Amino acid sequence: MKQLVSLRDFLIKLFNARLTRIIVTALPLFLGLLATIYVQNFLEPVPILAFRMDIGIAALLFGIFLTLLLGAYFFGDESRGWFARGDMDEVRREMEESRRQFIRRLDHEIKNPLTGLQAALVNMSETSADADRHRASENARHALDRLKRLLADLRKLAELEERPLERLPVDIPALLEEVTEAVQSLPAAQERKINLLISRVPWPFPPVTGDRDLLSLVFYNLLENALKFTASADSVEVRALEDGRAIVVEVADNGMGIPPAELPKIFEELYRGVNARGTEGSGLGLALTRRIVILHDGALEVRSRQDDPRGTVFTVRLPVARK
């Protein structure tokens, strides 16, 4: 029994050895060649199929065919790997570059509130007037809030990759109503009007399978952005419809619009466009939003124009739950 096992091991090893593979691959070709020479010397050509073919040539062709087949079987992965290596290097370079870019941006995002915090601490320790101390502590708190928000969003991004998504039926119209109401209760949005349009005829929306809380974050972020980058005279609209396969939600505004050159970059982590300089935010909102949509097998797109009629439309497509 033991011998049998070791014999089997030996055969497996032999079969897996590179030299064996090369020999086995080349063997049909070699045998075909031998057959060609041998047959030409001893046998008359015989008709095969419709045209006359030497049996030796047939053996050679068969050998070539078999060699190619075995070669593909044994060495296919290797050659594919060899061809793919160039692409891999390219991908790796891109990843490396985006990682470096992320660190540069992170450095920038941390630097500013930290500078504010440092200055506030100096003010606090060097002044004795109560009003000044109070202002300094307010500034410190503000800087701290910015840092905390950045950290919280970074954590969300990291956690999205790690924790399992809740997969339950989500009623999108109800969610949109809830989010719209929540955004409008923000102090900065009290005066603003958001038009919510949900098509309900001829049938109600089917549910989307997903994580309700994360999806609420998607619409919240888009809506908060729409309010942030529009003036109080501009309109903000949320519209939802269903096309049988997906629920499509658009968050639209007629605000200042996004420069065309920035459009491909706005979903990048910590990217800040010209509009976003000087506004509050972690710079991670859209990256988070897109990540959540992708985790739900959906798609997020943006269209924007800066010349009249100007404005921005974000479109979220979420596949509906299959029965």
Contacts to other proteins by CB under 8 A = 148, 151-152, 155-156, 158-159, 162-163, 166, 168, 178-179, 181-183, 212-213, 216-217, 220-221, 224
Q: Which one, of 322, 286, 316, lies nearest residue 298 by Cα?
A: 316
Least spacing, CB of residue 297 vs other proteins, in Å: 20
The residue (of 192 and 212) whose beta carbon lies closer to other proteins is 212
The residue (of 35 and 179) whose beta carbon lies closer to other proteins is 179
The residue (of 205 and 220) whose beta carbon lies closer to other proteins is 220
SS3 22: helix
Q: Which one, of 161, 121, 172, 169, lies nearest residue 143 by Cα?
A: 121
The residue (of 168 and 294) whose beta carbon lies closer to other proteins is 168
3-state helix, strand, coil in the chain (%, to 5): 60, 15, 25
Least spacing, CB of residue 246 vs other proteins, in Å: 23
> Using an 8 Å Cβ cutoff, are 183 and 216 in contact?
no
The residue (of 221 and 304) whose beta carbon lies closer to other proteins is 221
Q: How many CA atoms lie within 13 A of 291 on its CB side?
A: 19
Angstrom distance (rounded) from CA 286 to CA 284:
6
Least spacing, CB of residue 28 vs other proteins, in Å: 56
Least spacing, CB of residue 147 vs other proteins, in Å: 8
Least spacing, CB of residue 179 vs other proteins, in Å: 6
The residue (of 78 and 181) whose beta carbon lies closer to other proteins is 181
Least spacing, CB of residue 248 vs other proteins, in Å: 21
* Runs of H (alpha helix) within 127-248: 130-162, 172-184, 212-228
Least spacing, CB of residue 207 vs other proteins, in Å: 13
Angstrom distance (rounded) from CA 227 to CA 251:
10
Angstrom distance (rounded) from CA 293 to CA 270:
18
Angstrom distance (rounded) from CA 252 to CA 230:
11
Angstrom distance (rounded) from CA 211 to CA 166:
5
